[in-house]
Every structure is written in C-alpha cells, then in structure tokens.
Amino acid sequence: MQKVIAYDSTLRDGAQAQGISFTVEDKLKVVRKLDELGVSYIEAGNPGSNPKDLAFFEHVAALDLKHSKIIAFGSTRKIGIKAEDDRNLKSLLSANTEAVAIFGKSWDYQVTDILRTTLEENLAMISDTIAYLKQQGKEVVFDAEHFFDGYKANADYAMQTLKAAADAGVDVLALCDTNGGTFPDEIHQITKTVVETFDAAVGIHCHNDCEMAVANSVAAVQAGAVQVQGTINGIGERCGNANLCAIIPNVQLKLGMDCIPAAQMAALSTAARYINEIADMPFNEKAPYVGNDAFTHKGGMHIDAVSKNPISYEHVEPAQVGNKRHILVSEVAGRSALLSKLQEIDPSLTKESADTKRVLEELKALEHEGYQFENAEHSFDVRVRKLLGKNKTYFKLQRYTIHVEEPSQSKINSTATVSFAVNDEVVKAVGEGDGPVNALDRAMRNALRDTYPAIKEMKLTDYKVRVLDSNLATAAKVRVIIETSDGAKNWSTIGVSTDITEASWIALRDAIEYKLMQAGV
C-alpha cells in the first residue's frame, strides 16, 4: 500500500483557534493520544515563540513514543542575517527534536509587501535556513506559505521558492493553502505539477475558509502528495484547518492507502472526543466518521433498509472508525426501529407482538405530550422496561419540597427536601444548591447513596430546557434534557411538564434509575 504520512498540527495550528489554550500537561496528553492513534508526525509548537512551548519540548523528550515523531515549528531566518545567528533558529534547535518544520513565503506579494524585502533575499532566506538545519542533522519540512495563491499570481516565482528549498536538501515540500480559498481542481492540478517537477516528497496543508480543506487535502493526495497536514476535528484559526478525523479514513478506507496502523483506525472516534475535551470545545456530533450522528438513523424507511443491509445508508462500517450505529426512537421511526430497540431488552418480541404495539402507542402518546426520545434514549430504555415489567422498583417518591431564597453572593440559594420509600423504609434527605434543580439533585443523591453506592459515581454534566409552546407563556410545557456521566459512560434522560421543577425531577429520576440498571443493582 502507498504510504501517506499523517502529520498533526493540533498543538500548533489548532492552538491558534479562538478559545483554545493548551497547558503543558494538556499538550503532553494530546501527544500520548496521537501516538496511540499512530500519527506519524506531531507538530507541537514554536519553541521560539513563548516559554510554555519551550517547557513543553523539555517534558515531551521524556515520553516513550511508539509511532510519532515530535516536530518543532519555526520560520526562515530573518532578513539580512546569517542562519546560524538567528535567535529563533537557535530556539528551534534547542527543542532537540529529530525533525523541524520551517515556513517561508512563496507568494511574491507577501515577500514585497508584507516582509518588505526583495524576491532574491526571500529565496536566500529559504535556502540558507534549510541548508543550516540540514547541517545540524535535522529532517526538514518546508511549509510553502500561501503557495497556491502565490502560484496563481506568479507561478514561476512560487516554483523558485520550492526549488530553493529542494536544492538546500529539504525532505518535504508542504504546499499551503493558507487563505483556504483554493478549489479542489486547482489543488489537484498544481500539486501534480509540483510532484512531477521535484524529487522531494510533497505534502499538503489546507485551511477551511471555503469548507473545502478535507476535499482539497484528498485532491492533493490523489495528485501525488504523500504527507497530509491537519488537526484533530479541524480546529484552527478562522474557519479551522483540514480535519484529520475525516482525512485519515478517507485516505485509508476509501483510497486504500496506508495512513495510520490499520489496527488503530478503530481508535479514531475515541481520540477525536478525548482531544476535543482537552481543548474544551463543544463536540460536533454531525462530524463525518466520528460524530454520534454519523451513523444515526431516524426515518422509518431508512431504518428498515439498514436493518436488512447497512450499506443501504452507510458508506463504511461504524466499527471501522470506532463509532456505533444508532437507531433513533421517534414518531417517524416506525415499528421496525422500535422492534430493534425492544429486542435489546426482550429478544423474544416480534413486530406483531402485543407488547410491541402497546409500547409503540405509548411512545406516540408521550411524543404528543412533548417527549422526544431521540435525544434521550436512556429514558426510553427505563420506560420500556417498566412497560414490559422488566424493571426493578428502586425507590418511590413520596414527596419533595423546594425552598428558594433571594439570590445573594453565596451560590447556595435553594434547599430541597425529599422523601422516598426504599425497600419498605422511608428515607428522607436535604440538599442545598445553586438553584432548585441543583438542590433537588443533591437531595436525591443524599437520600439514596447509602442504599445504592453506585450513585456516588454520577455527575450531571449538561442541563437543557426548551419551552414547547411559547404562546402559552408561563403555562407552557417545558422539556428538560439532562446529561449524566459516571466517568466511563454518558447518558441522557428527559422530562416534560408545565412545571420546570417537575420536568427536572422526572429526568433526574430516569438518570438515577438508568445508572442502577446498568450497575446491575
């Protein structure tokens, strides 16, 4: 298989995205995860730009990496000085990485109007820098900044910049669509010209300003590029960088090229979520390959077809990229979809079973009231078990009361008292919190945790409220969806009521019952 090198720039280009600031420990965690995934190169920062990056390179040297090379990033020498005298190049060498990446101008406009130097001096800057780094025994990647814009404006000069790098002994010529404005046909044609002109390996580095970074990267590979640069989940400045979570499976599963170890492809979805969490960014569930919605089916005809043969609506097997197929339970899903969910609980059920029909009617009635189980499937599991008589009664609510005080400087402004019947005993507890829902959540846990210690692992991670009919003002029903985690798994539950506290109670109750069901209590 042809090898296409996966080159990750999450810790450098990705870190330039608005709202992202990796700590040194964050960066080390990302490196470990990328190494586990089998990424060949990890561009981890510019040691000459800030003390944090310099500290990172000191720590990363101690890691025992199995697949990845760490690469430090910097610029060509400054105008009018020798490469060996350039302070930034000295910092680059101090990172002690086996490989380095150097960016330089390949667009004549950028040279004359931004750098404010001559075209000849820019060529000398590229040549001197790369020759010097090769003399130091480094593997060198040259990022030809603005290459495609430069080629379209002055193809001869853009190619001269690559020749300067190639003649100096560069290992990889990385062609950059820095402004993200080039189309795939242009990328393919220009990359093919470069591949046919130079002996050095050719790479591609795309930005996503026209929503084409992945398509452009794949076009470059099809034209002969053997290195693809990008970031996990496409994070990066402006509209982001090329998304490696789409590029890697596209190249490996679709084009049949070797990008990461085959056995590691199934770790892709986990790595995407793990690194996204470290970056503290909301995850895109619509993301191809790795998003929860990538293999999710809701329409009845689609579900029926997928149950017969997944290729009818899936272009790859979800497990290949570590994802799962999701069949949503909704009013448009139909009996076939419902049956597949019910058979997870009771395999003996059939499409014509009375229980199947009864649950379907109950589902439709609940959705008429405002329930929407496609975003809270775990509440559906709890309710189906109750309807089928396959649940255990863990606790019964006798009553709850909530007292809310005027907001103050203290976060504790609400007190909830709950009373449950548990194993023929009455259990009461009080909880204080920031708002009535938080107080109710704590009171429930306080009441039940001694009987059911598994509850201690639970943590409420998200809380959403939607007004279902705003025309009714304060009398409108509200839908509450909460997300809960125990560190190993996340689950979502739902409650609907004209009273927001009651809707929250229903969702909290289902969350606890689901956890206890899964724990086998």
Q: What is the 3-state secondary structure (H, E, C) of 413-462?
A: CEEEEEEEEECCEEEEEEEEECCHHHHHHHHHHHHHCCCCHHHHHCEEEE
Phi, psi torsion values for 72, nearest 5 degrees:
-95, 150
* Superfamily designation of domain 396-518: Alpha-isopropylmalate synthase LeuA, regulatory domain (3.30.160.270)
What DSSP string runs through 361-400? Answer: HHHHHHHHHT--GGG-HHHHHHHHHHHTT------EEEEE
Bridge partners for 143 per DSSP:
103, 174
pLDDT at 407: 67
pLDDT exceeds 90 at position 412: no
pLDDT at 34: 97
> Domain extents for the chain?
5-278, 292-369, 396-518
Taking the CA atoms of residue 89, residue 232, residue 41 and residue 254 in that order, the dihedral angle to the nearest 10 degrees is -140
pLDDT at 48: 74
pLDDT exceeds 90 at position 464: no
pLDDT at 354: 84
Which is nearest to 155 in space by CA: 163, 165, 147? 147
Residues 227-242 have pLDDT tens digits of 999 999 999 999 999 9
3-state SS, one letter per residue, for 95-124: CCCCEEEEEEECCHHHHHHHHCCCHHHHHH
Structural fold of domain 5-278? TIM Barrel (3.20.20)
- What secondary structure letter does DSSP report for 286? T
| 393/51: higher pLDDT | 393
Between CA 385 and CA 380 the distance in angstroms is 9
How sure is the predictor about 356, in pLDDT bands with cuts at 50, 70 and 90? confident
Q: Do domains 5-278 and 396-518 have the same CATH topology?
A: no
For residue 368, give the amino acid letter: H
Bridge partners for 69 per DSSP:
41
Phi, psi torsion values for 380, nearest 5 degrees:
-60, -45
pLDDT at 335: 59
Point out the least confidently predicted range of 22-36, 141-155, 397-411.
397-411
pLDDT at 173: 98
What DSSP string runs through 203-228? Answer: EEEEB-TTS-HHHHHHHHHHTT--EE
Between CA 274 and CA 420 the distance in angstroms is 38
Whether the CB-CB separation of 198 and 217 falls below 8 Å is answered with: no
Interstrand relation of 326-327 and 396-404 (parallel, antiparallel or unpaired): unpaired
Between CA 402 and CA 369 the distance in angstroms is 25
Q: What is the phi-psi region of residue 240: left when phi exceeds 0, alpha when psi lies from -120 to 50, beta otherwise?
A: left
How sure is the predictor about 1, in pLDDT bands with cuts at 50, 70 and 90? low
Whether the CB-CB separation of 420 and 397 falls below 8 Å is answered with: yes
Residues 277-335 have pLDDT tens digits of 889 888 898 999 999 889 887 766 666 677 677 787 889 999 999 998 876 665 555 55
Arithmetic mean of pLDDT, 176-201: 98
Residues 148-176 have pLDDT tens digits of 999 999 999 999 999 999 999 999 999 99
pLDDT at 330: 58
How sure is the predictor about 133, in pLDDT bands with cuts at 50, 70 and 90? very high
Structural fold of domain 292-369? H-NS DNA Binding Protein (4.10.430)
Q: What is the phi-psi region of residue 470: left when phi exceeds 0, alpha when psi lies from -120 to 50, beta otherwise?
A: alpha
Residues 49-72 have pLDDT tens digits of 778 888 899 999 999 999 999 999
Mean pLDDT across the chain: 90
Taking the CA atoms of residue 496, residue 499, residue 503 and residue 509 in that order, the dihedral angle to the nearest 10 degrees is -140
How sure is the predictor about 15, in pLDDT bands with cuts at 50, 70 and 90? very high
Between CA 128 and CA 369 the distance in angstroms is 72
Q: How many CB atoms lie within 10 A of CB 291?
A: 19
Between CA 490 and CA 432 the distance in angstroms is 25
Between CA 7 and CA 171 the distance in angstroms is 14
How sure is the predictor about 199, in pLDDT bands with cuts at 50, 70 and 90? very high
| 436/179: higher pLDDT | 179
pLDDT exceeds 80 at position 456: yes
| 390/471: higher pLDDT | 390
For residue 291, give the amino acid letter: G
